[in-house]
Structure 1
Amino acid sequence: MTETSASARLRWRVVFALLGVGILLALAGGYAWWRVWRKPNVVASPLGPAYLYIHTGAPFEAVLDTLRRQELLHEPGTFAWLAQRRGYPAHIRPGRYRLDFGLGNNALLDKLLRGEQDTVDFQLNAFKYKPQLVRQIARQLEADSTALRRLLQDNGWLQQRYQLDTTTVLTLFLPGPYRLVWNTSARQFLDSAAATHRRFWNAQRRRQADSLGLSPTQVHVLASIVQRETAMPQDKPVIAGVYLNRLRRRMRLQADPTLLWAIGNFGVKRVLNKDKLVDSPYNTYKHAGLPPGPITSANRQSLDAVLRPAAHQYLFFCARPDRSGYSDFAETFAEHKQNARRYQHTLDSLKIMR
């Protein structure tokens, strides 16, 4: 073998070695790039997609801490490295972000940088007192409970913004489904409730209220009483008609649910004479007309029952003794006393004293 051929072989070995090293480096670099940018990094959850909650004003360290603490990522370190390179710490957007299994760092950062947060769908349940509303919202949204309580007690602000006061503001809320972004503030939530309220009170419903001689707020107040009186859809327009008949005749409403609101105990099954002595503007046995505000947040069915009441001459009603939830109606007090005696006898037989 000549010296020239040996040198050529050596050169080729070197070339192949360098080529192999280059390929290995390229593969390593490609893997590193894929691992940081594209590799699925969101941890699979047996309960479905995970959610990352980023509070308003949260720094990057808090976001990383949440990801680590809740074990949402396989490799938080690669996410942190890429986030720094893409400038995410300076552009953090609060919200509730859905983290689907298989999402890589780059795709996740695209979502976070664009603020593509998931909306929160929740059911606003009927409530009787403001603290119950505040607790419901605090469980669903970022809205600060202290800020919400303060706004609900700010008479001047409520008058200016919604033409309501601290008592009638409860007519602003319609129970039912709501869809909002998680980082909705207390003020934004109230504005959203007001927008839902405006959509409900269309021109037709306003005309119906006018024909009854009632304002929308008064309709809410009366509907709240109807709602507490019965859960039976068939009875609601009839009961609404009873109360409207009494209002037209300037009779006191004598609505038991308003007494329960005044004494703060809706668990009472039997209203006693002493309850009728409670000193409260919500005592409709003492005070004529509607109470100053609603005793619960009236739903659409109860509101429409007031707006489209049954036409009749009934002035009284009483729960049926069969405890079916329906009511017996009467035009005269004598007939009503008979209905009431039958119901009281049922309570006595069941030993329900309160």
Structure 2
Amino acid sequence: MSKKKIILGIGVVFFALAAYVYVKAFSANTKFEEDKKYVFIPTGATYEDVIKILSSEVKNIDGFKFVAEKRSYDSNVFPGRFLLKKGMGSFQIVSALRHNEPLNLSFNNQETIEKLVSRVSSQMEVDSLTLMKSLKDSVFMNQNGFNEETILAMFIPNTYEVKWNLSANDFRDKMAKEYKKFWNEERLAKAKALNMTPVQVMTLAAIVHKETVKQDERPRVAGVYLNRLKAGMPLQADPTIIFALRKKANNQDLVIKRVFEGDLRVNSPYNTYVNLGLPPGPVAMPDISAIDAVLSPENHKYIYFCASVERFGYHEFAETFNEHVAIAKKYRDWVANQGVKR
């Protein structure tokens, strides 16, 4: 055989091999029809686990394995949330599995720490029991100025970028940092001027948050409660009664549309009709507008307020008890006509 033919044969083999490798590595190897799909690799997963997970997402698992092993992915598996795009080849898939995509974790209106934990764990790898244990760790709470009644105050409603596989302790520590970041010098100075700690502000803000959904009314409502605190009067806040009734029933989903006179005698430290001062902790997760309403309250002499029957969602305010009685009667009559029971 001539030297020329030998060289030509080698060239053919080389290009055939190159074509084979190219097809294995770069030809489309996704099975899903969506434009993109997230793949979740749990903490502690092995290469074999990844193969099982990907078997429903890639067309040619052997092609993926060929590239993964050539690129040493089989000995360097990463846990996390990974973005695969339709039409990716095995080479791109391996690259994608090395880039843990963060997610936007959002939470608001969580009325208890249990509900918050449930929401967070539904979006992340960590399970609710592990997360709850981490949050209620006594050393952590003591170091950061919380207890089991106030730990909810650490969470500022917002959207946070986190890794799906973030551990319970790392998530907890991140939230503690976000809390301290939120409580900047300006907010701390305002709290100090009110002679309140951040946790106390959050506790009152939770009541304000539950009393009115109208953000423009919250500074006025906050002013009422601050006036009552200064005067040594009980807050008499219905949201604390509702919280106490749910706590007593061990059912935070208990529907209570109306508070009756008998409810005001519920035996609970959260009963602000009976007990002076703030309740032991937040009765909900206040949003930022409610927190800032407490820190920058409206300056007035109002001591009472009641839901308005003319301006839905708003309230009528009064400086004297007699004024309040007249307003409250008007509201009670309206509620009775609506047939609202419990």
SS in 2 for 1:235: helix
**Counterpart in the other structure of 2:136:** 153
User: Which of residues 40, 58, 75 in structure 2 aligns to 1:90?
Assistant: 75
SS in 1 for 2:130: helix
Q: 1:25-80: CA deviations, max 9, x gaps? A: 3343122110222223234533x311111111001111110101xx2212111111
CA distance in 2, matches of 1:191, 1:250: 37
Does the CA contact (< 8 Å) of 1:144 and 1:185 recur in 2? no
Q: CA deviation at 1:239?
A: 0.4
SS in 1 for 2:159: strand
Alignment of 1:101-250 (within 5 A): 101-112=86-97, 115-160=98-143, 162-250=144-232
CA distance in 1, matches of 2:185, 2:74: 49
Does the CA contact (< 8 Å) of 1:145 and 1:186 recur in 2? no
CA distance in 1, matches of 2:176, 2:69: 41
CA distance in 1, matches of 2:107, 2:303: 33
Q: 1:197-233: CA deviations, max 9, x gaps? A: 1111100110001111111000000000000000001
SS in 1 for 2:216: coil
Q: CA deviation at 1:21?
A: 5.2
Q: CA deviation at 1:323?
A: 6.0
> What RMSD over aligned residues (CA atoms) do the two structures have, in Å?
1.9
User: Which of residues 313, 316, 339 in structure 2 aligns to 1:351?
Assistant: 339
CA distance in 2, matches of 1:217, 1:111: 42
Q: CA deviation at 1:281?
A: 0.5
SS in 2 for 1:224: helix
Q: 1:11-32: CA deviations, max 9, x gaps? A: 68x976x677555533431221
**Counterpart in the other structure of 1:5:** none
Q: Quick one: which amino acid aligns to residue 59 of structure 1?
A: T
**Counterpart in the other structure of 2:37:** 50
**Counterpart in the other structure of 1:300:** 288
| Equivalent pairs, count | 336
Does the CA contact (< 8 Å) of 2:108 and 2:287 recur in 1? no
SS in 1 for 2:215: coil
**Counterpart in the other structure of 2:241:** 259
Larger radius of gyration: 1
Does the CA contact (< 8 Å) of 2:113 and 2:151 recur in 1? no
Q: CA deviation at 1:109?
A: 2.1
Does the CA contact (< 8 Å) of 1:270 and 1:353 recur in 2? yes
Q: 1:173-197: CA deviations, max 9, x gaps? A: 0112111111111111111211221
TM-score, L = length of structure 2: 0.93
Q: 1:223-275: CA deviations, max 9, x gaps? A: 00000000001210000000000000000000000000011166322211111
Q: Which deviates more, 98-107 or 202-211? A: 98-107
CA distance in 2, matches of 1:350, 1:132: 31
CA distance in 2, matches of 1:337, 1:142: 53
CA distance in 1, matches of 2:277, 2:50: 55
Does the CA contact (< 8 Å) of 2:227 and 2:302 recur in 1? yes
Structure 1 stretches lacking a partner, 5+ long: 1-10
User: Which of residues 25, 34, 39 in structure 2 aligns to 1:37?
Assistant: 25
CA distance in 1, matches of 2:336, 2:157: 35
Does the CA contact (< 8 Å) of 2:306 and 2:317 recur in 1? yes
Does the CA contact (< 8 Å) of 1:151 and 1:158 recur in 2? no
Q: CA deviation at 1:85?
A: 3.0
